[in-house]
Homo-oligomer: A and B are copies of this chain.
Amino acid sequence: MLHDSLVRSLFNEICRIPLIDPHSHIDPRRPTARSLDDILGYHYYTELAHSAGMSKEPLAPNVEPRRRVRALLEHMDRFDNTVQYSWFLEIARTFLGFEGERLSPADCDWLCDQAERLMAQPSWESQVLERSRLEKVFLTNDFDDPLDDFDTTRYVPCLRTDDLVFHLDKPEVRRRLAKATGIEAGNGTSLRKAIGGLFEHFTRHGAKACAISLPPHFVPSRISLAHPPAGEAVFWMLAECCRDFKLPFDLMIGVNRRVYPGGVYQGQDLFDQRTSLIQYAELFNAFPDVPFSISVLTSVQNQELASYSWIFPNVITSGHWWYSNVPVYVEHDTRARLQAVPKTKQIGYYSDMYKLEFGLPKYNMYRRILAKVLADDFVRTGVYTESQALDLARLLLRDNARRIFNV
C-alpha cells in the first residue's frame, strides 16, 4: 500500500505502539460486532448508501438483517471511492479473511457466514483488540449509566453531558436525572447538587473525562440560572465540576443536529462553518486548571484550534472528527498542528467507533498519514531522526492521552 520505503518503515513501527483511544461510542457490554449487519449498520454506510440512492426501507428494524446487508452491498459500487468504503474493505480482509479486490452483492452470504462464525468465538474481543493494538478505549456514557458491570480499566468511562445541557427541559431527562441522583433538580442549588452527584458517581467508577458535542453558535458564558436553566448555565456548571473533580472536558465543537430530518439514523447532522473558538475565550480564561480537549468539525477551523492551543495552556488539540476525518483534511490538519503546537498538547487520533472492529482501519488510516507527515516534514528535513519521529508518534497515540486523562 505504501510505495515510499521510509513511510512504510515508519508506519510499521507506529503500528507497534499500544493505543489509548480517547473517544469512542463502544458499548462495553457488547464491544464487538456479532454480524455483518452490526458492521454495516455504522451510520457511514447507511448514510452513504442513502445519499447515493438507497431508500430507507431496508433499514427498518423489522427487515431481515441479511437482506439489509445485501441492500447496502448492492449500493456500495456507488461509493467505493470513499475512505469509508476502504475501512470496510480493510475489515473484510483483516478480520473476515476476504481475499478479493472489490466487494459485491455476490459476497454477501459468504461474508455474513464468516462474520457470524468468527465473531461468535469467545476470544473475538481480545483478538480484535490485539490486532488493532488497542489497550484502552474511552466510552461515551449516558449520565445515568451505572458503570458497574464492565472492566473500567480497559473501557474507560466518560460522562457524556449533551442531555443535561440541551435537553434538561424534557421531562424524561429530568426523570432520569432524579432517578440517577435521588435529587429533584428544582432550582440552581439542587441542580448543582445533582450534577455534583453524577461527577462523584463517575469519578468513583474510573471516569477520566467529561464530554459534550456543541452546535456552531454555542457561546458558553457565566450567566445565572433561570428556570428552566439555559444550556449555557448548565454548561458552565459542568465546567465547574470538571475543575472540582479534576476531569478534563472534551468539547466537540460545531455540529447542527437534524439538518436533514429525513435522513437515516445518525445521518442527519451537518454544520455551519461560521463558528469561532473566540466563543470559548471566556471559558478558557475562567478555568485555567481544566484541560479542554477540543475537536472541531471542519478543517477550516483547524487553524483556530492550532492557534488557540499554541496560546492557551489548557487547550489541547484532539483527533480528527467526523466530516474532517477524511485523509486530505487529516493530513493538512496534522501538519499544521505538528508545526505549531507543543507536541505534549496533542491527542493525535480517536476512533469515534461503535464497534471495536473499526479501530483497526480508522487508526491505520491515521497511522499511514502520520507516517507520511513524519517522513516529509520531520525526518527528511533533518528535524528529527527516525527514532525521534517515533517518539513523537508515541506521544500522539498514547503518552499524551495517558498524562492528560490520567490513565
Which residues of chain A have a CB within 8 Å of any CB of chain B? 1, 3, 47-48, 50-53, 78-84, 86, 101, 256, 259-263, 267-278, 281, 284-285, 288, 298-301, 303-304, 306-313, 323-324, 326-329, 332, 335-336, 338-345, 377-378, 380-385, 392
- How far, in whole Å, are A307 and B270 apart by their CA atoms in the complex? 7
- Specify which chain B residues have a CB less than 8 angstroms from the CB of A3 in the assembled complex: 380
Whether the pair B268, A256 counts as a contact (CB closer than 8 A) is no
CA distance A149 to B215 in the complex (A): 53
Q: Quick check: A383 and B323 within 8 Å, CB to CB?
A: no
B343 pairs with A79, CB closer than 8 A: yes
In the complex, the answer to whether A303 meets B343 with C-beta atoms within 8 Å is: no
Whether B300 contacts A285 by the Cβ 8 Å rule is: no
Residues of B within 8 A of A300 (CB): 273, 300, 303
Q: How many monomers of this chain does the complex have? A: 3
Give the complex CA separation of A35 and B83 in angstroms: 47
Q: Which among B259, B304, B345 is the interface contact of A271 at CB below 8 angstroms? A: B304
Asked if residues B78 and A342 are in contact (CB atoms below 8 Å), the reply is yes
A285: which B residues are within 8 A, CB to CB?
260-262
21 intermolecular pairs with C-beta atoms under 8 Å apart = A1-B382, A47-B310, A51-B310, A78-B344, A82-B341, A82-B342, A84-B340, A260-B284, A261-B285, A262-B285, A268-B311, A270-B304, A270-B311, A273-B276, A273-B303, A274-B276, A303-B323, A323-B340, A326-B336, A327-B377, A328-B335
Interface centre among A52, A259, A284 (most CB of B within 10 A): A259
CB A310 to nearest CB in B, in angstroms, measures 6
Chain B neighbourhood of A273, CB < 8 A: 276, 300-301, 303-304
**Smallest CB gap from A52: residue in B:** B342
A342 partner residues in chain B, CB cutoff 8 A: 48, 51-52, 78-79, 81-82
Cβ of A75 to closest chain B Cβ, rounded Å: 9
Residues of B within 8 A of A78 (CB): 342-344
Task: Assess the A311–B261 pair: CB atoms within 8 A.
Answer: no
Residue of B101, B269, B313 near A53 (CB, 8 A) is B313
- Chain B nearest CB from A255 CB (Å) reads 11
A299 to chain B, nearest CB (A): 6
Tell which of B86, B270, B284 touches A383, judged by Cβ atoms closer than 8 Å.
B86
Contact of B260 with A270 in the complex, beta carbons under 8 Å: no
CA distance A276 to B86 in the complex (A): 29
